[in-house]
Amino acid sequence: MNYGIVVRHQLSTNDPNTYYRLHPDFIRLFSEEDIEEQNRLIQQLQKQLTKLKGQKAQRAVQGKEICVQIGDGQIFSLSSGDHNLLEKSVIEIFGHAFLDNPQTVYLGDSAPRKGYQNRTLMRRLNLPIDTTASLPDVILFSEPESHLVIVEAVTSSGPVNPIRLEQLHKFTKGPRKLGIKVSYVSAFPSRAVFRRFVEEIAWGSSTWIGNEPNNIVHFERMRER
């Protein structure tokens, strides 16, 4: 795991549902049949391994910080806490389960003045770049699907309720004008936390539960005939 060969799904230190899976780049290597592409992937992984060796030493100094694999061997560190652990699961588990080749556009941090922004991608998607605005917790984008996913990580407050959904509609006005599909998701660590907020969930949004990662629930309105 320290060298990016596998990634871990873990919501808390003693989470009994912890499991490991191969890094997506290694899965691509094993499934690729073209020799030239396979060699290119090997060279890319070798470079990534060298980079991660250096990052391992840095993470040892960082101690309690949460390291998130945000793509292309890039590691971003969040401050410690259950909320940021859930965000890590959204990036590393949810994104790869439900999106084709997901890119991390934005990743918030519960600590002030921290977080990750891919400003180049935000400009291309016509998203407002304003660190003072009430941004969502995580923004993911699938280029092949032209699909933008807005995620609120919920451990103690803040699901996508009707008021929040209206705010997020305004926030994603630019991408929708470009014809990009936009989904709105409330992520919960467990059903127990989900049950506390289920009556607040807005129609037209979805929910994902971290310890049941292969499922998603859509709160859909019936279309008028």
Alpha helices (H) along the chain = 24-31, 35-62, 82-89, 95-98, 119-124, 162-171, 173-177, 191-197
Q: Which residue has the higher pLDDT, 180 or 43?
A: 180
How many CA atoms lie less than 13 Å away from 25 in the CB half-sphere?
A: 22
Residue-level pLDDT at 54: 62
Mean pLDDT of the chain: 85
User: Which pLDDT does position 199 carry in this prediction?
Assistant: 96
Place 29 in a pLDDT band, splitting at 50, 70 and 90.
confident
**Dist. CA 202–CA 161, nearest whole Å:** 5
Q: What is the pLDDT of residue 104?
A: 95
pTM comes to 0.70
DSSP category for residue 90 = I
Residue 16 lies in a domain: yes
The boundaries of the domain holding residue 208 are 6-219
With respect to residue 224, please indicate whether it lies within any of the assigned structural domains.
Answer: no
Per-residue model confidence (pLDDT) at position 13: 47
Quick: pLDDT tens for 161-178.
999 999 999 999 999 999
- Say what the pLDDT of residue 153 is: 96
- Of 6, 155, 161, which is closest to residue 93 (Cα–Cα)? 6
Contact 208, 197 (CB under 8 A): no
For residues 75-103, average pLDDT: 93
Beta-sheet pairing, 66-71 with 74-78: antiparallel
Burial of 31 from C-beta contacts in 10 A (0-12 / 13-18 / 19+): exposed
Would you place residue 183 in the very low, low, confident or very high pLDDT band (cuts 50, 70, 90)? very high
Answer yes or no: is pLDDT of 22 > 70. yes
Tokens 């996913």 appear where? 149
Determine, yes or no, domain membership for 11.
Answer: yes
pLDDT > 70 in the chain, percent = 84
Phi then psi for residue 165, to 5 deg, are -65, -40
In a domain, 225, yes or no: no
CATH code for the domain of 30: 3.40.1350.80
Domain count, the chain: 1
- Assigned domain for 27 exists: yes
Q: What confidence score (pLDDT) does residue 15 get?
A: 58
**Cβ(204)–Cβ(169) under 8 Å?**
no
